[in-house]
Structure 1
Amino acid sequence: MTFEKKTKSILYGMEFTHGIRRALVWALALVYFVSLGFPIIPITTLFAVSTIIMVLFEFPTGAIADYDSRKKSLMISFFLMFVAFLGIFLFTEFWIIVPFWILGDIAWAFSSGAGSAWAIDALKIAKKKDRIVSLFSRGSIFNQGGHIIGGLIGFFIIAISFRFIWLAIALTNLVMFFVIWRYMEERNFKPTKTPHNYLMKSFIKARESFSYLIHSDNLELRILMFGGFFSAMAFSFFSIGMPLMLTQNLNLDPEYLSGLSGLLAILALGAPLIGEKMAHKKGFRKPLTGLLIAVGLAMIIFGFSKTLALAILALALVSILEVAIDVVEDSAFHHVFTSRIRASLGSLNSINWAIASSLGVFLAGLGVNFLGIVNTILIGGIFVFLTSFIYLFGLKKEVK
């Protein structure tokens, strides 16, 4: 196997593993915790606080990836993910689950930005828009494949025991840990030797990343960050309202959520290629604007749905369009990142996402309690429309 094929295989394997985890967490985490008798607001508060705690680890983990080794950062990530979900599987008391849930978010901080930074630099494709878009498109297909398998795993495992979904996530991350340890190579990356400890290195990387963000040449990055903030809030509102809408308003049995997640992933398998084709032909501005307007309309249709069939149809549209948006948006970010601090800029983007997501989840929890499930979903749709206008008027018309 050539180095390029091996690099892509490992990257796609990581995406596949993330897809399994996201499918099960996306569909079942909130419903699982509710089934244990936990109230909605403590659950959504945990989600929000955990994400904020993750923010504190973004630059230290980015420093490890940019200064020392992206492989080391990724190995730490997948091992901690194994420990975190094993703990959630073993315990059912809220205050014991809390530290393990937080550990899972910290584990993600070690991975965010590191995997794509490793692959882009190893393949020497920085600033090559078409190759970056293609890499993210194929990675997204494997992520969707993970969603499909995760959905099937959840569907069959729940029949045995709801708790076993967390063991499944733990074991898949442990397998990926050993794959990275055994097969990952780092090329075209030189560790930076500095006399400072990791805390000081983190401050240095944070300063470099913020300096890059506010530089006069990087308006495009600031627009992407600003739009990404509102986009993350929108999907947080929807992710909280959606499973409650299906199970409480439309009476879908919780065990079918996982199977539905797998079905939606099958329908979205071609979505990365849609995003890739649009980015190749139109750049980033028009595809992001059009896709976001479409997903906003789909969210509103979902919120007003009176039948399960219409809700699932609207949810399918949201899922397909979201995947296409992710491909275009991630490609746009990495197109304007510099390789020297690519992982740290990825951490900065993750911080932006984490703050928006935690704020969105917390407000969504309040919205469900005080405004109702439907209104919470509609607020998410409004934020999506806002994001589309930010990209329409802020991004460049053409990207070479």
Structure 2
Amino acid sequence: MLFKKDELKHLWPFYLYLLVSGLSTMITPFYLLYFLHLGYSFFEISVIMSCAGVTAFLFEIPTGAFADGFSRKYSVVVGALIIAIAVMFIPIVKNYYVILLLYIMTGIGDTFMSGAQEAFVIDNLNSKKRKDLHQEYFIKSSSFLALGAVFAPLLGALLVKVYSIEILWYIYGFGFFFTAIIITFFTKENFKPKKLKLLDLFKESFQTSKIGIAFSIRQKTLFFSIVAGIFMCIIKAGAIGTQPFLISLGLKEYQMGYVFSIISVVCIASSFASRLFTRFKSKNVLSVVILIVMGLLFSLLFIYPPFFILGTIIIITKSGMLNLGGPLIQSYLHQVIPGRFRATIISTMSMANQLASTLAGLLAGFCVDLFGPQRVIAFSGMFGFIAIFFYQKMKD
């Protein structure tokens, strides 16, 4: 059976908004091209992306503590609304600095959602004594997002071909509005924080943050996972030039939607394929995956026009491989995270990834302007050796 007993009863609102969120991501294959059309350089675009990352780094722990100390449900709702409003203003303005400000808002909104979203679901399942649904949620949440993303790029390609990229920003914003509505009216929060006054709440939140950070450092498996994740972020940052690289090989701009649609299909398959590896140690599966990804990225050095099909196949395969290990590591880490600090610790991990992604993104944008997308994408994979080293130090 596709769903376990009462799985939809407990998780249908989350699966539904994840599906709609996936459908709303029509902008994903085209946002870089949108900013290039505005005349921004790769470095300027990386600064825009980094503003969201820096903001997320600064706000991750306070907002994670807010979720632990006040409400995980309404932390997600507030975050979704902030992002929705900011995103819908992006196609209206053309000024570079205003767009920077809007991306800062998306960073703040993202920190309200990150950590709180997973903790919200896990705590609800634990209260129903359904820990057996943890891995089901992580596998299917990734799959529902990917399922929506299968059709989103196809629709995005049609809209870009007929209209323009601008309309896709509005659709993306709608997805976050839908998330806020579903969470507000169709989900119940079983997490019961202490009732505190506002000042006491912030004191309690920062104290919780300190304890959560200390635990993340002291618990070696978590610490090594965080460090390995940082270097995985660096690998992903190197992909900033993927869209213009494929176009330089001969791919049509609107066809980028088709490529991302196929990537989503592959990601769905890889998410379910992760079930096949549950009998193996997570760190070993991740290490093999990273080695394959490194080989695929390096092979891009030898792809030139007009072989855009070969380059596209490599990019698609790489994306599927990176998606393979995600559900395994997520499910494993939640077994070693104490429930009381779950949102804060997840936020700590997200914060480290945000900082790494920010710094790597700035460097990648500068390097792409200097050396071109092809070389940067290929050599970013070399950081996989360091990620493998730290994953192997984790205890299974």
For normalisation by structure 2, the TM-score amounts to: 0.92
Pairwise mapping of residues 18-57 of structure 1 onto structure 2 (< 5 A)? 18-20=21-23, 24-25=27-28, 27-57=29-59
Are residues 1:106 and 2:108 paired? yes
Cα distance in 2 between the residues matched to 1:376 and 1:145: 30
Matched residue count: 388
Pairwise mapping of residues 1-12 of structure 1 onto structure 2 (< 5 A)? 4-12=7-15
Which string of whole-angstrom CA distances, capped at 9 and with x for unpartnered residues, describes residues 228-278 of structure 1? 01001111112x02112112x313222221221112112322111122321
Cα distance in 2 between the residues matched to 1:101 and 1:76: 16
**Aligned CA-pair RMSD:** 2.2
Cα distance in 1 between the residues matched to 2:44 and 2:359: 14
Partner SS, residue 92 of structure 1: coil
Partner SS, residue 89 of structure 1: coil
Which string of whole-angstrom CA distances, capped at 9 and with x for unpartnered residues, describes residues 117-164 of structure 1? 111111118999864332211111101112113212311221212100
- 2:345 partner letter: L
Q: Which residue does 1:61 correspond to in 2?
A: 63
- Between stretches 254-263 and 3-12, larger displacement belongs to 3-12
Q: Which residue does 1:167 correspond to in 2?
A: 170
Cα distance in 2 between the residues matched to 1:208 and 1:14: 32
Which string of whole-angstrom CA distances, capped at 9 and with x for unpartnered residues, describes residues 10-59 of structure 1? 2223433443455633x221111001112221111121132111211112
Q: Which residue does 1:264 correspond to in 2?
A: 263
8 Å Cα contact 1:45/1:362 also seen in 2: yes
Evaluate the alpha carbon distance shift between residue 97 and residue 258 of structure 1 in structure 2; reply closer, same or farther with a 3 A threshold: same
Cα distance in 1 between the residues matched to 2:322 and 2:264: 11
Cα distance in 2 between the residues matched to 1:292 and 1:10: 33
- Between stretches 12-21 and 220-229, larger displacement belongs to 12-21
Pairwise mapping of residues 1-400 of structure 1 onto structure 2 (< 5 A)? 4-20=7-23, 24-25=27-28, 27-124=29-126, 131-158=133-160, 159-187=162-190, 189-195=191-197, 196-197=199-200, 199-215=202-218, 218-238=219-239, 240-247=240-247, 249-278=248-277, 280-306=278-304, 307-392=307-392, 394-396=393-395, 398=396
8 Å Cα contact 1:23/1:261 also seen in 2: no
- Between stretches 67-76 and 130-139, larger displacement belongs to 130-139
8 Å Cα contact 2:367/2:376 also seen in 1: yes
Which string of whole-angstrom CA distances, capped at 9 and with x for unpartnered residues, describes residues 195-240 of structure 1? 435543442132011121122xx111111011001001111112x0
Deviation at 1:362, TM superposition (A): 0.5
8 Å Cα contact 2:26/2:155 also seen in 1: no
Cα distance in 2 between the residues matched to 1:3 and 1:156: 38
Cα distance in 2 between the residues matched to 1:78 and 1:172: 9
Evaluate the alpha carbon distance shift between residue 175 and residue 47 of structure 1 in structure 2; reply closer, same or farther with a 3 A threshold: same
- 1:32 partner letter: Y
Partner SS, residue 250 of structure 2: coil
- 1:5 partner letter: L
8 Å Cα contact 2:282/2:325 also seen in 1: no
Evaluate the alpha carbon distance shift between residue 340 and residue 23 of structure 1 in structure 2; reply closer, same or farther with a 3 A threshold: farther
Question: Where does structure 2 lack aligned partners over 5 or more consecutive residues?
Answer: none
Deviation at 1:350, TM superposition (A): 0.8
